[in-house]
A and B are shown apart, each in its own frame.
Chain A
C-alpha cells in the first residue's frame, strides 16, 4: 500500500517546561476524513498549529507522501498543500467576497501599461467555486464577507482552499458556532471535499458531527493520543466517555438523571446553599 498522504510519527511539543503534546502519531490518506476529537485543552489547537506551520514540533517527524517535511512558516505549509480553515473562516468581514477569496493571490490583467487587479474574474471564480459547494444564494462577488452566515463563510474558506489546490484540509471546529442546518451544510461540504480526493482533518468536540463524516478517529486527552479507531469500531457513548476522561461522564449523567427524578426536572432546591 502506498504511503499515507500525511504521517506524523512521535510528535512531541513543549513550551518551556510545559509538555503540551506527547508522542502523537497519526496518518491520513487521500479522500479520507480524520476526526480529531478532544475536550478543551487536550492539545488539539497545538497539533493544528504544528500541522499548519505555526509551531515546529520539539521532536518527532512529519512526512508527506513518504517524504520527510518540516514547515518554517504557515506559508511554507500552504505551499505543501496544507490549508487550515479556522472556526470563523479566517476571512475578512469588511472585504468583498472576490477580494477575500483571492487575498495574497490576486488575479491580475493588463490595463494599458499597468497591471491591475482583475475584479471581474476574481468575483466570477469566487462565486462559481462557492456555487459548486452548494452556496447558491451568493450571486455577487462584490458583496462583503460580513454579510454571509457562519456556514457560508466556512464554505468560502473551504472553496478557497480547494481552488488553490489544497491536498490536506484542516478544519478547526468548523461547526462549533453554527446552527443545526448550517452545520449539516458544512458537513456535506466536508464530504464533497473528501470525494475530490482531499485528505480532511476535522477537529471537533461534537461526537455526532464527527461520526457523520469521519472515516478514522483519534481522541486526544491531555496532550496524548488516548484512542485511534476506524468508523464503526466504537459507539457514540463510548467516544463521549473517552473524550470526557472515562467513567466520569456516565456518573455525571446518572447524577443529572437522579436530580431530574427527585426534583421534577428542576435543579434541587437548596442546592446553592448547600
Chain B
C-alpha cells in the first residue's frame, strides 16, 4: 500500500513517461540481442534444407534433430542460468552417466521398483549440485575448477561403484509401461517424449528468468556479484540453487536415457559438457555472466542440433560437422557481440531533441 501511494505521488509530481505502443518497431526488434542467434539458426536451417534434401525436412529428419535438441536443451537451460550468474558447471558430463547407472543398478541389477531408481537418480543430481554449490561458495575457487574436479571425481566414483556393485560397466534396465511412457518412449515412432519435458523446462526457466524476482537476482549476480550482495540478494543461496538445478536436469537426462535405451553405460554423457556450453554461447549468453535469455538458449540448442544431425542428410562426410560447429560458434559469438553493442547504443525516439 505504501509503495503504491508513493508511486502515485511520484507519478503526480512529474509528467508520466510517454507510453509506447505495444507493437515493437523494427528498429527495436533489431536491437534485441537474440536476433543474432535467430539469424544463425535460420542460416543453418536453410543450409541443411538445401543440401540435406527432402529427408532433412521430413518428420523423421526433424525428429532426429529435435530429439538431440531436447536432451541437450534440458541440460543447456540450467547451464545457461548458471552462466548468466557467472558460473560454469562441467560436472554434468559425469552426472548424466552417474544418474543412468544409479537407476540401472537399483532398478535393473537389484530389481527395485523403478520409482526408487528414478528418485535416487534425481536425488543424486540434487546432491552433487549442492556439493558443487557449497564448494564454490566456501572455497571461492572458480566454478570451472570446482566442477572440473567433481566431473572427474564423479566419473571415477561411477566407474568404481558400478564395477563393485554390478561387476560390469554396462547394466540393462527393464522398466514398466508407465515409466516408458513418461520418460523413454517415441511418439509416432519418432519423437522422444523428452521433447515435452524440454518444452516444460523452457516454460519454467523462461518464467524464472523473465518474470520472477529470482531471475533478476541471477542477472545481477552475473553483472556484479559484489553490488548484488550489497543490494541484499542472497547470493549464496542463489548459487547453490542454480548448481542443484543443473545437477537435477543432468540427472533427469541420464535417467530418461537409461529408460529409453533399456540400459546404462558408464562412459556415456561426456559430450554434454561442451555441447551445452556451445549451445548456450551460440544463444548469446555472455560467458562472463550478466547477460542472456531463454529464447537465445533455445535457439542456440536448436542450431547446434541442426548442424549435429543435419550433416547426415547431406552428401558430406559427417566428420565435417565439428568443423562447422567450430566456425559457427565463432561466428555466433561475434554476431552476438555486435547485436549486444547495438542493444547498448541508446537512440531516443524523439530525434529532434538534441543530446
Q: Which residues of A contact B (CB under 8 A)?
A: 52, 74-75, 78, 84, 90-95, 99-100, 102-108, 111, 114-117, 121, 124-125, 127-129, 131-132, 137-141, 143-144, 146-148
Known: A94-B344, A124-B17, A139-B17. 7 other contacts (CB 8 A): A94-B223, A99-B219, A117-B212, A117-B215, A128-B16, A144-B343, A147-B343
Question: Are B232 and A99 in contact, with the CB atoms below 8 A?
Answer: no
Residues of A within 8 A of B290 (CB): 92-95
Question: Are B16 and A116 in contact, with the CB atoms below 8 A?
Answer: no
**How many inter-chain residue pairs (CB < 8 Å) link A and B?**
115
A195 and B20 alpha carbons, distance in the complex (Å) = 33
Residues of A within 8 A of B340 (CB): 94
Stretch from B5-13, B181-189, B262-270 at the A interface: B5-13
Question: Are B286 and A94 in contact, with the CB atoms below 8 A?
Answer: yes
The smallest C-beta distance from A134 to any residue of chain B, in angstroms, reads: 10
In the complex, residue of chain B having the shortest beta-carbon distance to the beta carbon of A130: B17
A100 and B58 alpha carbons, distance in the complex (Å) = 46
The smallest C-beta distance from A230 to any residue of chain B, in angstroms, reads: 32
Residues of B within 8 A of A132 (CB): 10, 13-14
Question: Are B17 and A129 in contact, with the CB atoms below 8 A?
Answer: no
Within 8 A of A (CB), among B315-355: 340, 343-346, 348-349, 353, 355
A143 and B340 alpha carbons, distance in the complex (Å) = 12
Contact of B17 among A100, A102, A107, A127 (CB under 8 A): A127
A95 and B210 alpha carbons, distance in the complex (Å) = 12
Question: Are B219 and A124 in contact, with the CB atoms below 8 A?
Answer: no
Question: Are B229 and A103 in contact, with the CB atoms below 8 A?
Answer: no
In the complex, residue of chain B having the shortest beta-carbon distance to the beta carbon of A111: B211
Question: Are B10 and A128 in contact, with the CB atoms below 8 A?
Answer: yes
Contact of A74 among B11, B224, B229, B348 (CB under 8 A): B229
B216 at the interface (CB under 8 A from A): yes
Give the interface size bracket for B toward A. 35 or more
Question: Are A75 and B230 in contact, with the CB atoms below 8 A?
Answer: yes
A147 and B346 alpha carbons, distance in the complex (Å) = 5
B179 at the interface (CB under 8 A from A): no
Question: Are B233 and A104 in contact, with the CB atoms below 8 A?
Answer: yes
B48 at the interface (CB under 8 A from A): no
In the complex, residue of chain B having the shortest beta-carbon distance to the beta carbon of A137: B348
Residues of A within 8 A of B3 (CB): 107
Question: Are A92 and B16 in contact, with the CB atoms below 8 A?
Answer: no
Question: Are B20 and A116 in contact, with the CB atoms below 8 A?
Answer: no
Residues of A within 8 A of B46 (CB): none
Question: Are B343 and A124 in contact, with the CB atoms below 8 A?
Answer: no
B18 at the interface (CB under 8 A from A): yes
Residues of B within 8 A of A78 (CB): 230, 232
Residues of B within 8 A of A140 (CB): 17, 20, 349
Residues of B within 8 A of A117 (CB): 210-213, 215-216
Question: Are B10 and A146 in contact, with the CB atoms below 8 A?
Answer: no
Within 8 A of A (CB), among B1-47: 3, 7, 10-11, 13-18, 20
A103 and B230 alpha carbons, distance in the complex (Å) = 10
Question: Are B291 and A74 in contact, with the CB atoms below 8 A?
Answer: no
A127 and B17 alpha carbons, distance in the complex (Å) = 7
Residues of B within 8 A of A147 (CB): 343-346
A138 and B10 alpha carbons, distance in the complex (Å) = 16
Question: Are B211 and A105 in contact, with the CB atoms below 8 A?
Answer: no
Contact of B217 among A100, A104, A116, A124 (CB under 8 A): A104
14 pairs from A and B in contact (CB 8 Å cutoff): A75-B230, A78-B230, A92-B220, A92-B227, A94-B223, A103-B216, A103-B227, A103-B228, A103-B231, A104-B217, A104-B231, A104-B232, A139-B17, A139-B349
The smallest C-beta distance from B219 to any residue of chain A, in angstroms, reads: 5
Question: Are A92 and B223 in contact, with the CB atoms below 8 A?
Answer: yes
Question: Are B233 and A103 in contact, with the CB atoms below 8 A?
Answer: yes
Residues of B within 8 A of A105 (CB): 231-232
Question: Are A90 and B224 in contact, with the CB atoms below 8 A?
Answer: yes
The smallest C-beta distance from A102 to any residue of chain B, in angstroms, reads: 7
Residues of B within 8 A of A95 (CB): 216, 219-220, 223, 290
Contact of B14 among A102, A121, A128, A138 (CB under 8 A): A128
Residues of A within 8 A of B353 (CB): 137
Residues of B within 8 A of A102 (CB): 216
The smallest C-beta distance from A251 to any residue of chain B, in angstroms, reads: 41
In the complex, residue of chain A having the shortest beta-carbon distance to the beta carbon of B11: A128
Within 8 A of A (CB), among B193-244: 207, 210-213, 215-217, 219-220, 223-224, 227-233
In the complex, residue of chain A having the shortest beta-carbon distance to the beta carbon of B342: A147
In the complex, residue of chain B having the shortest beta-carbon distance to the beta carbon of A95: B219
